[in-house]
């Protein structure tokens, strides 16, 4: 089954968006914005994105690169923040999208920081640094939803995270994982930042 996807990205990462759209032969219905909406009115631009693109999609593919961190500033991130906010909103004429974060190669080492043993339960963990330094809050919070446990499992996360190379090798698997999160119990715990 093909899923309807919207790609959220920074202009600096457009080459990855184009590879997804043109080279990977991904089984998806692409509802991404490919031409700029000509307007100075940000609210109008976001209304068009929500109505014409996001409301018809079920998975938002969020490219996480060197230019998509929260600490780069609100003005710098206004469109990807609002795209993810709209993707997480579940309401009239808009159902919540699954969120698939794809970590681009230039920040692998910033996000995937090694492994170790949990001092509380003794389980071996792979350390993943998704925070304001590496991602925007709309993704990082919904990847690390507070749970009162010593660490997170896949069931504790709404956002799905994957390295670019792994996505290229099996895009259908990760798109489907993000799609299935929409009806998982964790979907009730997501948060949309204002």
We report the CATH number of the domain holding residue 104 as 3.40.50
Determine the 3-state secondary structure of 161 from DSSP.
Answer: strand
Consecutive H or E run containing 98 = strand 98-103
Q: Which residues of the chain have pLDDT under 70?
A: 33-34, 38, 73-76, 194
Looking at residue 75, what is its pLDDT? 57
**Residue 62 counted as domain residue:** yes
Q: What integer pLDDT is reported at residue 39 of this predicted model? A: 74
Which domain does 133 fall in, by range? 3-189
50 assigned to some structural domain: yes
Total structural domains within the chain: 1
Q: Is there a domain that residue 142 lies in?
A: yes
Q: What is the pLDDT of residue 82?
A: 83
Helix H or strand E segment including 111 = helix 108-111
| Cβ-count burial 72-85 (b if 16+ within 10 Å, e if not) | eeeebbebbbbbbb
What confidence tens digit (pLDDT) does each residue in 32-62 have? Answer: 766 777 677 877 877 777 777 777 789 999 9
Residue 124: helix, strand or coil by DSSP?
strand
Q: How many CA atoms lie within 13 A of 132 on its CB side?
A: 5
Cα 145 to Cα 154: distance, rounded to the nearest angstrom: 11
Q: Is 90:71 a contact under the CB 8 Å cutoff?
A: no
Using alpha carbons, select from 173, 154, 184 the residue that is nearest to residue 28: 173
- Residue 194 maps to a domain: no
- The answer to whether position 115 is within a domain reads yes
pLDDT, position 27: 77
53 located within any domain = yes
Q: Is residue 149 part of a domain?
A: yes
Residues 109-120 have pLDDT tens digits of: 999 999 999 989
């Amino acid at each position: 089954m093909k899923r309807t996807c919207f790609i959220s990205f920074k202009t600096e990462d457009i080459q990855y968006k184009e590879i997804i759209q043109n080279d990977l032969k991904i089984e998806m219905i692409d509802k991404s914005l490919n031409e700029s909406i000509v307007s100075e009115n940000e609210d109008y631009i976001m209304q068009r994105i929500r109505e014409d693109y996001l409301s018809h999609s079920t998975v938002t593919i969020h490219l996480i690169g060197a230019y998509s961190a929260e600490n780069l500033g609100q003005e710098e991130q206004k469109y990807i923040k609002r795209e993810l906010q709209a993707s997480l909103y579940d309401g009239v004429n808009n159902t919540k999208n699954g969120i698939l974060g794809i970590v681009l190669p230039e920040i692998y080492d910033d996000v995937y920081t090694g492994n170790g043993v949990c001092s509380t339960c003794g389980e071996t963990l792979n350390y993943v640094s998704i925070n304001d330094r590496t991602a925007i809050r709309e993704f990082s919070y919904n990847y690390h939803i507070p749970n009162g446990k010593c660490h997170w499992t896949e069931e504790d996360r709404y956002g799905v995270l994957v390295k670019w190379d792994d996505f290229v090798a099996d895009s259908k698997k990760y798109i489907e994982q993000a799609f299935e999160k929409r009806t998982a119990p964790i979907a009730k715990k997501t948060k949309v930042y204002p």
